[in-house]
Amino acid sequence: MNAAEDLYADQAIKFLEMLWGEGYLSPGGLDEIKRLLTGMDVRGKHVLDIGCGSGGIAVGLANEFNAQRVTGIDVEKPVVEAARRRVENAGLSDIIEIKLVSPGPFPFEDESFDIVFSKDSIIHIADKEMLAKQAYRVLRPGGWFVASDWLISHDDEPSQAMKDYIKQEGLEFRMASPGRYESALEKAGFSNISLTNRNPWYLQTAKQELSELEDTRRAEFVAEVGEAYLLDNIKTWKAMLEVLASGEHCPHHFRGQKTA
């Protein structure tokens, strides 16, 4: 049974994986992970994956990027259980550990990881400054924090369209601006910081996703999650497309390096 407060309960996992791929609770699949990790040598490294979801990325980091070890952390039991099953089925239990953690400081010693990674999960963490400090603390000198996340273009009051979208998502988003992320990284001590706006890519991708939901894969989704659940998500995608089109919803890639 899922706890009532789980945002990514079994039906949400099923729906998102149908749309985004087995083990993925965010868009873009392995191609997007490759773009995010461009120029990063993951071979032989110990990677922390913050908000690992149902584990597809942790498996990819081991199988496709040859990470020596991956530690995935998440705060929700259904995704942690799904990730553990995926790791076991992939025969990667010796390489990948999935931990259920409480929100807040990471339960790891200083300088435990070579790379701190995250894909579209920091949106759920309100205190970006604490998060950046924790990432810095657990990285070894010279290590990189590399992440993708869903940002808002400014720190003022969100537009009505953005408020409506966030409410419709119902996932307790804690969005912040690129400027806030950059200053959180700087204050934590990171150097070589860069941010890349992925809005143009996701705007196009989300249009394609909506046409799958409404048209080309509609029957498949109705059979798996039911008409009402699908219609609610079509509403979400329409609300999201409005704020993607305005640029207010601006997914980013960002990275920063701990001083060697």
Cα–Cα distance for residue pair 251/248, rounded to 1 Å: 10
Q: Which is nearer to ligand SAM, 24 or 145 (CB)?
A: 24
Task: Report residue 34 CA to chain centroid gap.
Answer: 14
Q: What angle do CA 129, 187, 73 make, to 5 degrees?
A: 40
What is the token pair recorded at 233? 């998500």
Q: Which is nearer to ligand SAM, 45 or 124 (CB)?
A: 124
76 binds ligand SAM (CB under 6 A): yes
Give the burial string for 128-161 (b: 16+ CB within 10 Å, else e). beebbbbbbbbbeeebbbbbbbbbbbbeeebbeb
CB 192 within 8 A of CB 257: yes
Residue from 84, 124, 137, 255 binding ligand SAM (CB under 6 A):
124
119 binds ligand SAM (CB under 6 A): yes
> What number of other Cβ atoms are within 10 A of residue 32's Cβ?
23
Q: Which is nearer to ligand SAM, 125 or 213 (CB)?
A: 125
Residue from 36, 70, 75, 162 binding ligand SAM (CB under 6 A):
75
Residues in the interface with ligand SAM (CB under 6 A) total 21
CB 185 within 8 A of CB 193: yes
Residue from 12, 26, 182, 209 binding ligand SAM (CB under 6 A):
26
Using the contact rule CB under 6 A, the part of the chain among 72-80, 85-93, 217-225, 250-258 near ligand SAM is 72-80
Binding mask 45-64 for ligand SAM (x = CB under 6 A): -----xxxx--xx-------
* Chain residues that interact with ligand SAM, rule: CB under 6 A: 8, 24-26, 50-53, 56-57, 73-76, 79, 103, 119-121, 124-125
